[in-house]
Amino acid sequence: MNAPNDLHLRPTGAIDSDHELVQAFAWQHAQGATERERAIALYRAVRDEVRYDPYRIDLSPQGTRASTALLTGYGWCVPKAVLMAATARAAGIPARLGFADVRNHLSTEKLRQTMKTDVFVFHGYTELWLDGAWRKVTTAFNRSLCEKFGLLPLEFDGVNDSLYHPYDQAGSRHMEYVNDRGTYDDLPLDEIVQTFAVVYPGMGSAAEATGDFGDDGARERTA
């Protein structure tokens, strides 16, 4: 297991932990007597205070920055993972990014028509160095969205990895990890853009900013 180095605490163009908004967010939410407690508090804040929205995917450098997720109040899994890494670094907790391809068994008709597949490539999560080990955390789905989709909200206890549940509350298939893309000290944006262009040729550099993902999911779930 490779221990963290100076890179895991430094700001980057995407993981802009030196941005005043990121600094303020970390100062407000990284509360607790121990580093583990502060990490858990940050995890919950990033998960729930920034709405998950895959309808508004912006693959530009500006669109994938941590500070942009705070400015807009929404983001898909990659900018939310970047935000988690940035706020952790701002709080003095070493952090890096991880990516995997996942098969999502719960989506919306609009997203399926756009993607033409149920596989989400380069799903982003974050790894935090706590108590001598890297811990995986997934901040993508905010609690209110989980309620609309009938999902179990992910939790993080600072010890066990926080990864997608394989089943939803009703016992139906939810998420399956199909390919591990490894960890990165910074956002591999060029690689993500190139992969998206091949896998999702109809998506373009920015998804159409219309509709509400949560409302669509809730409506289709009860239809």
What residue ranges do the domains of the chain occupy? 7-222
Asked if 174 and 151 count as a contact pair (C-beta separation under 8 A), the reply is: yes
Q: What is the CATH number of domain 7-222?
A: 3.10.620
pLDDT at 155 over 90: yes
Question: What is the predicted pLDDT for the residue at 221?
Answer: 72
Question: What is the predicted pLDDT for the residue at 161?
Answer: 93
> 205 in helix, strand or coil?
coil
Nearest Cα to Cα of residue 154 among 177, 137, 133, 171: 137
Q: What is the pLDDT of residues 69-126, one digit of tens each?
A: 999 999 999 999 999 999 999 999 999 999 999 988 677 888 878 888 889 999 999 9
Calpha distance 107→33 (Å, rounded)? 39
User: Average pLDDT in the 131-159 region?
Assistant: 91
Q: What is the pLDDT of residues 38-56, one digit of tens each?
A: 999 999 999 999 999 998 8
Q: What is the pLDDT of residues 159-210, one digit of tens each?
A: 999 988 776 676 777 788 999 999 999 999 999 999 999 998 877 555 555 6
Question: What is the predicted pLDDT for the residue at 6?
Answer: 95
Question: What is the predicted pLDDT for the residue at 1?
Answer: 61
pTM (two decimals): 0.93
Confidence class of residue 223 from pLDDT cuts 50, 70 and 90?
A: low
Residue 77: CA atoms inside 13 Å, Cβ hemisphere, count?
Answer: 20
